[in-house]
Amino acid sequence: MADWNPALYSRFEDERTRPAHELLARVPLASPNVVVDLGCGPGNSTELLVQRFPDARVTGIDNSEAMLESARKRLPGVAFSLGDIGNWQPDAAPDLIYANAALQWVPGHEALFPRLFALLAPGGVLAVQMPDNLDEPSHRLMRETAAQPRFAETIGDASRLREPRKPITAYYDLLAKDAAQVDAWHTVYQHRMDSAGAIVDWVRATGLRPFTEPLGEALRADYLADYERRIDAAYPARTDGRRLLAFPRLFIVARRQP
């Protein structure tokens, strides 16, 4: 897959960073020493960690060079490293592993969540937020558009492109037996979007990438126009002309035994 586009991703930075704030607000740590931001992206989530824990050694890990470049410009004092969350190993046991909107891109959650939890220092915290929107019109319509023969030939079976999210109870079960404390919740945001095109731009930076990237330029434009027509119908204009993009997100904060 082509690299991420930090500029397009950051276009909705306030909306994307709100869950990062809300996740961090529930982290029950006063002064951690070692803090890691997994899937740090352009550094927006890392910046919150640095502000909350100014004395900690904060590092950011991502597998996108473009995102890391953007993060380094934003926070020159922080160490950002290229790494794959799927096999990442810390050099010192972290007191906080924080992953906002990142682990949904990493397969194998049954093994991944216990593995990350076991990497923590005693009393350490794993804090995760993931979109839980694969059944929302925004994502259902990506698959429906892709299923049309002219796109399916290149995109293939669109349903295999994303690993389905587990129910929140499954994430709870993966962590609870070794945890001193687990806090799990859902929030459904209602993002106020200017137009159907703005909704398309939102997902074009994230969930739409695996669908549009295999397509050539002309077919991609055709796919985007078709998808936007469907989005326009699924998210009608409200009384002020805006669209409300319902966006469910899943949060889990688990603390290891001291």
Ligand X SMILES: C[S@@+](CC[C@H](N)C(=O)[O-])C[C@H]1O[C@@H](n2cnc3c(N)ncnc32)[C@H](O)[C@@H]1O
List of residues contacting ligand X (CB under 6 A): 4, 16, 20, 39-41, 44-45, 61-64, 67, 84-86, 100-102, 105-106, 206
Between 61 and 198, whose beta carbon lies closer to ligand X?
Answer: 61
Between 61 and 155, whose beta carbon lies closer to ligand X?
Answer: 61
Nearest-approach distance from CB 241 to ligand X, in angstroms = 28
Q: How far apart are CA 50 and CA 56, in angstroms?
A: 8
What's the longest Cα–Cα distance across the chain?
57
Nearest-approach distance from CB 48 to ligand X, in angstroms = 8
CA-wise closest residue to 135 among 213, 246, 17, 9:
246
Q: How far is CA 167 from CA 49, 133, 184, 216, 244, in A?
A: 27, 12, 11, 36, 24
Phi, psi of 241 (to 5 degrees): 90, -10
Between 9 and 227, whose beta carbon lies closer to ligand X?
Answer: 9
CA-wise closest residue to 9 among 44, 33, 35, 37:
44
Nearest-approach distance from CB 226 to ligand X, in angstroms = 24
Nearest-approach distance from CB 40 to ligand X, in angstroms = 5
- The residue sitting closest to ligand X, measured at its beta carbon, is 41
Between 145 and 206, whose beta carbon lies closer to ligand X?
Answer: 206
Q: How far apart are CA 95 and CA 120, in angstroms?
A: 6
Nearest-approach distance from CB 186 to ligand X, in angstroms = 17
Between 100 and 138, whose beta carbon lies closer to ligand X?
Answer: 100
Between 17 and 145, whose beta carbon lies closer to ligand X?
Answer: 17
The secondary structure of 12-81 as a DSSP string is THHHHHHHHHHHHHT---SS-SEEEEET-TTTHHHHHHHHH-TTSEEEEEES-HHHHHHHHHH-TTSEEE
CA-wise closest residue to 212 among 155, 170, 130:
155
